Amino acid sequence: MAKQTERIEIRVTADELKTLDAYCQTVDLNRSEVLREYIQSLKKKVKNINREV
């Protein structure tokens, strides 16, 4: 894994945080790990969008 040097901060609603925490508990990952996995999944989406254009 690449060295993590950047930091982001977001504001979410209480309901969004509950949803994130419930998912984290279900998959046994922490918030950062879940968000990193989601960001990595965006690479495929971007690639597919670029193919369609």
pLDDT of residue 38: 96
Residue where the block lists tokens 């994130």: 20
Please provide residue 23's backbone torsions phi and psi, each rounded to the nearest 5 degrees. -65, -45
For residue 32, give both structure tokens: 């950062």
Contact in structure between 29 and 37 (CB atoms under 8 Å): yes
Per-residue pLDDT of the chain (53 residues), as tens digits, is 678 899 999 999 999 999 999 999 999 999 999 999 999 999 989 988 998 87
Spans of all domains in the chain: 14-52
